Every structure is written in C-alpha cells, then in structure tokens.
Amino acid sequence: MTGTRGKSLTLGALVAFSLLILSAPTLVVLGASFTGGNIIAFPPDGFSLQWYAKVAGASDLRRAFGRSLWVAFVCTLIAIPAGTLAGLALAKYRVRFANLFQVYLLLPFTIPLIGSGIGLMLVFGEAGVLGSLWPVGLAACVINLPFMIWAVTASAGALDPDLELAAANCGAPPLQTFLLVTLPAVLPGVITGSLLMFILALNEFLVSLLLVDARIVTLPVQIYNSIRSIITPDLAAVSVIFIACAAAAILLLDRLVGLDIFLKSK
C-alpha cells in the first residue's frame, strides 16, 4: 500500500513539474502583457490594460491579423476536400505506392521548414504569383496537410464498411452513399483536421516570411519585424491573443467532437 502511494505521489509530482515547465512561457507572456511599465517584465510592473488598448488601436496590427485570418481560411478551404479524400483513400483502399504516402505523412517532422519554404518560394516565383496572399495559404496547406489526413484516417478506421454496402444494396448511387453515409461517419475527423489546419496556418511564420513582401505581411511576420528593433509589452498582448485563439479552437473542438478524436488522430 505504501509503495503504491509512493508511486502515485512520484507520478503526480512528475506530471505537475511537466505541466509547470510547459506552461511557464505562456504564464510569463500572459503576465508581461498586463504590465504597467514600458518594457516586458515578469513579474509585471503593476497591472494595466493599456497594451491591449494599444493593440486594438493599431491599424497595422489589425490589418496583419486580417491577412493571417485570410491565409488560414484559404489553407482550410483547400485542406478539407484534399485531406478528406486522401484520408479516406488510405484508410479504405489498397493504394499503390502506399509506402511513399507514409513517407509524405512524416514530412512535417523530417524536412526542415526552411527547405520547404524556399522550394515553394521558387515555385510560386516562377508562376508569377508572389506578392499575393492565397499562395501563402496554399503553401501552409501543402506543408501541414498530413495532419488533416491523419485526422480523417483515424475516423475512417472506425467506419463500418457494412454501412456502405447496405446503402449500395438499397440502391443508393456512390455519390449519395458518400454524402449520406461515409462523410457523416468521418465528420469528426474532418472537423478536427480543419480546426488544426486553421490554427497552424494562422500561426505560420517562416513560410509567410519567405512568400510575402512588406505590403502584405501577416501578423507573425509583423511581430517579427517589430521585435527586431525593440520588444514592447504590446507584442506580449498580441501573443496572448494568439494563445486565446488557439484555446478557443481547442474548446470548440472539444464541444464538437471531443478531444479524444484529436488525440487518436495523432
């Protein structure tokens, strides 16, 4: 009994320490955003909402945030059909060159992002589309699409093939079977992947830095350009807004499909 209690205490202490380490940067940024001073400090120098008011009144930050939202929208719009169909194909059919697809699904973890960004910059440069926002969304989709495919594949793996066979036996054409049987069954994975793609594109920095110019910078690039001169508390406030967006997406995901679907997709 004593040994079991000791193991529980040790495990609890390790979990608490891990949570503290993981959340420490967020807590520091959160505290610094409410400082009453003129420089980032933790613990904060007093309490003030002045930096959030400054962010709300900064037209350049608002425009940059709007561009980031547009990039995330374009990325998600492309990822939904592409990732859904690819995930279903990998889960339901014996696809030729399946091993190559498995390698592709590992690319976000194996290829340096700078390499992918330079390659996309050269491709879009040859196509003459640099200087627009939609290529940034397309690039974010290309790089992060494996996450969408994983989410759909996880849901498709739980799909009972007898349901599709029953629909076909009842005379439903393939398209109707897909829309009324297959798609609703994998909808949790589609929602999970869509929200994940949206957040990843919203926070995309390196690819955006390579593909945009000074006229159409996204918010991560705008923050980077600002901290090259001086780091002020308003940048901490912007970071908190990004954290709030991610937290809102996680809460929405939990309400719509449950976090267990997301964890299974990993």
**46 pLDDT more than 90:** no
**242 pLDDT more than 80:** no
Predicted confidence (pLDDT) per residue in 14-33, tens digit = 888 888 888 777 787 887 77
46 assigned to some structural domain: no
185 assigned to some structural domain: yes
Average pLDDT over residues 76-92: 86
| Threshold 0.85, pTM exceeds | no
Number of domains in the chain: 1
Predicted confidence (pLDDT) per residue in 196-208, tens digit = 888 888 888 888 8
More confidently predicted of 11 and 256: 11
11 assigned to some structural domain: no
Q: How confident is the model at residue 248 (pLDDT cuts 50, 70, 90)?
A: confident
pLDDT at 76: 92
Alpha-carbon distance of 186 to 15, in angstroms, equals 33
pLDDT at 99: 65
CATH of the domain at 149: 1.10.3720.10
DSSP state of 178: I
The span from the first CA to the last CA of the chain, in angstroms, equals 36
Residue 56's CB is within 10 A of a number of other CB atoms, namely 12
Cα–Cα nearest to 137, from 202, 66, 224, 206:
202
SS3 (DSSP) at 34:
coil
pLDDT at 166: 74
Q: How confident is the model at residue 78 (pLDDT cuts 50, 70, 90)?
A: very high
31 assigned to some structural domain: no
**230 pLDDT more than 90:** no
Q: How confident is the model at residue 107 (pLDDT cuts 50, 70, 90)?
A: low
123 assigned to some structural domain: yes
Residue 212 tokens read as 């945009």
Average pLDDT over residues 24-46: 75
Residue pair 208/71 in contact (Cβ under 8 Å)? The answer is yes
Domain coverage including residue 175? 57-265
Cα–Cα nearest to 147, from 68, 65, 220, 82:
82
Alpha-carbon distance of 68 to 219, in angstroms, equals 6
